[in-house]
Chains A and B, each alone.
Chain A
Amino acid sequence: MPAGLFHENYHTDERIFQTWFAKVWLIAFLLGGVLFPVFGSKYAISIMIEVGIAIIACHGLNILTGFTGQISLGHAAFMGVGAYACSILIGQAGLPFIVALPMAGAVAALVGMIFGIPSLRLRGLYLAMATIAAQFIIEFTIRRWDSLTGGVEGMLVDPGSIGPFHFDNHYHLYYLTFILAIAATMATKNIVRSRSGRAFVAIRDRYLAAEVIGVNVFRYRLMSFAVSSFFAGIAGALLAQYLQVITHESFTIHQSIDYLAMCIIGGLGHLLGGIYGVGFWFILERILEVVTTTLNSTYPDHMTWFVSIREIVFGFVIVSFLIFEPDGLAARWRTIRAYWKLWPFSY
């Protein structure tokens, strides 16, 4: 292995995958993803669909919060917009899924931009509160607009299909989610490398300086809201296909907090942060599920004690990550890699 990266021209410097090592791992990962349904159980596949959806949503949130520095506590609400938009477009307007999916993203992006308008004047804390308000207002609209969304009883989602693929089949849905998750990752990577991505980061780091060097802060903030909500909308539409019945309860403020927590655990402002965070979150969730069921069967008299283990553990995880590793798993991974790279001759 080389002792470092030595770029001799701009072309190598701007490559996405800079070492053959990264390329090999990527190909192995893609192969694993493609072949997964062959040996994965039905349960494992449905979990992987959830993972893929969460990754798309987290990339969106990471663009907004991690790269642009705008705290959003309403991400799940934007997913809800996408989910309902897609299902309504398929079910009531009769559009084909392949048209309805991007349109759901667009509708979510539009709603996201509307709630992003306060970012003209607000930053930080105040903007976080505006997004909390967005969360509640959207949730309320979903719950009360009975004629369109089915109200509290929820809505049956017509399964979408593209050609021979019908997404009520979890194998087909798995591949769709997998492809879209990879597309979302690539899109995020390329947005961040582009002119707008650099503007986002400039706004995050010091927005006054960004304005001085000619970044139109309001425009790029709105753009960030739109991109983030577009991702959320796509993730929401997929979630609707996966759940098949959607209610407002899938898109509450708790989910919004969960997505933000995943991003923070993974590492805000790191491309792979969303993926690490989602992975960590789902693995921990499965472990806790096993622990809870074991405890329940061992102490059947004290069932009530274990109902909330999940919440407590996740609370502790969030708090301890923020105290001990505020840059998340991505930063931890980098330090580990840096340590082993030249081991044992680190000097």
Chain B
Amino acid sequence: MHSEYLFFMQFFMSGLSMGSIYALVALGFVLIYKSTSILNLAQGEFLMVGAYICLSMTLDFHLNFFVSFLITMVFSVILGLAVERLVLRPLIGEPIISVIMVTLGLTYILRGLVIMLWGNDIRQFNIFPEQPIDLWGVKLTYLYIYSMGISLILLTFFAIFFKYARTGIFMRAVADHQTASQSMGISVKRVFAISWCIAAVVSSIGGILVGNIGGVGVDLSYIGLKVLPAVIFGGLDSILGAIIGGLVVGVLEFLSAGYLDPYIPAINEVFPFIVLVLVLMIRPYGLFGTEEIERV
């Protein structure tokens, strides 16, 4: 009984820490969707670019990890701004497929550039100590605990930011009604730009955290797609939903690895997508998303 409990807790805690990273990336998705109604499928590439820049600053230029972290943040802000200004702004008002496809085109460009600059190999950070610590019998590496901590701090920060900060309130206003907020003197364009910046920054933080856990490679960008189930589960336009969805999907992924793996090997790779299909069939607007009601 006790060992079964430990087994469960082991996967649960690992899932929770992975889930907190998913929640960060999902936050980026939701922010962009909420303010601009764009589903940014290049989020995973943002994450990968962030991880690569930080890695290259630390390992190739031998900078302090925190310095390279800050440089990465600056880069992500520039990346977010550039993408919003050059690619997405000309497409305002175009059909959904154009917008989806343009973000997919971006994934090609960003992935190509990353391969061009850094090659195809998986590289390790090796910054945090490897040996696990014992939490009431559950073994976790420092990395997992750090990433959980950092994600939770950031998520709290953004929760407060949207509630009390002036810019945060602007962003919620634009998400609620663009024309109305424009007539109140809020610059919608600036809000769009800020959303893209924040999304790029949170996803590259997520990228650095994941990169520390599993190494930095081109495959990191798949996290962007893995987060889709989390976003849908929580509701595409709900920040709270993104956080809860991220945690739930992370936990489900690890629990499925723990319990279902003996029956269907490596089921955890697709388990989030099976959840996605189920959620879409049962409750497409997610836990906290706004339900669109249509009557004929």
Contact = CB atoms under 8 A, between A and B. Distances in A.
Interface of A: 65, 69, 71, 117-118, 121-122, 124-126, 128-130, 132-134, 136-137, 140, 144, 208, 211-212, 253, 257, 260-261, 264, 268, 304-312, 314-319, 322-323, 326
B276 A129 contact: yes
Closest 10 CB pairs of A and B: A315-B108, A318-B105, A315-B109, A311-B112, A312-B112, A308-B112, A308-B115, A319-B105, A140-B270, A133-B273
B109 A312 contact: yes
A261 B277 CA distance: 25
A81 to B, nearest CB: 16
Given A126-B280, A316-B109, A260 B90 contact: no
A315 B112 contact: yes
Q: Dominant SS at the B interface?
A: helix
Interface of B: 39, 87, 90-91, 94, 96-98, 100-102, 104-113, 115-116, 119-120, 225, 228-229, 232, 236, 264-266, 269-270, 273-274, 276-277, 280-281, 284, 294, 296
Contact of B280 (A122, A306, A319): A122
A54 B113 CA distance: 27
Contact of B277 (A130, A208, A268): A130
Kindly name the residue among B111, B116, B265, B296 whose own CB sees the greatest number of chain A CB atoms within 10 A: B116
A37 B98 CA distance: 38
Given A121-B284, A133-B273, A305-B116, A326 B108 contact: no
24 contacts: A71-B96, A71-B97, A121-B284, A128-B39, A129-B228, A132-B225, A140-B269, A144-B264, A144-B265, A212-B296, A257-B104, A260-B104, A261-B101, A261-B104, A264-B98, A268-B97, A310-B112, A311-B111, A312-B108, A315-B105, A318-B102, A319-B106, A319-B109, A326-B98
Given A71-B96, A318-B101, 9 more contacts: A71-B97, A125-B96, A253-B225, A260-B104, A261-B104, A264-B101, A307-B120, A315-B108, A322-B102
Given A71-B97, A125-B39, A125-B96, A137 B115 contact: no
B102 A319 contact: yes
Given A308-B113, A315-B107, A315-B108, A211 B296 contact: yes
A144 B266 contact: yes
B112 A322 contact: no
A253 B104 CA distance: 11
A124 B91 CA distance: 17
A69 to B, nearest CB: 8
B148 to A, nearest CB: 26
A208 B294 contact: yes
A65 B95 CA distance: 12
B116 A312 contact: yes
A319 B41 CA distance: 14
Contact of B273 (A69, A71, A137): A137
A137 B119 CA distance: 29
A314 B274 CA distance: 31
A140 to B, nearest CB: 4
B108 to A, nearest CB: 3
Contacts of A305: 116
A323 B87 contact: yes
B115 A307 contact: yes
B112 to A, nearest CB: 3
A326 B109 contact: no
Kindly name the residue among A117, A121, A129 whose own CB sees the greatest number of chain B CB atoms within 10 A: A129
B105 A261 contact: yes
A306 B97 CA distance: 30
Contacts of B107: 257, 315
A304 B102 contact: no
B280 A308 contact: no
A314 B113 CA distance: 12
B112 A319 contact: no
B104 A318 contact: yes
Given A133-B276, A309-B112, A311-B112, A322 B266 contact: no
Contacts of A129: 228, 232, 276, 280
A136 B111 CA distance: 20
A121 B292 CA distance: 11
Contacts of A257: 104, 107-108
Contacts of B91: 322-323
A323 B94 CA distance: 9
B280 A118 contact: yes
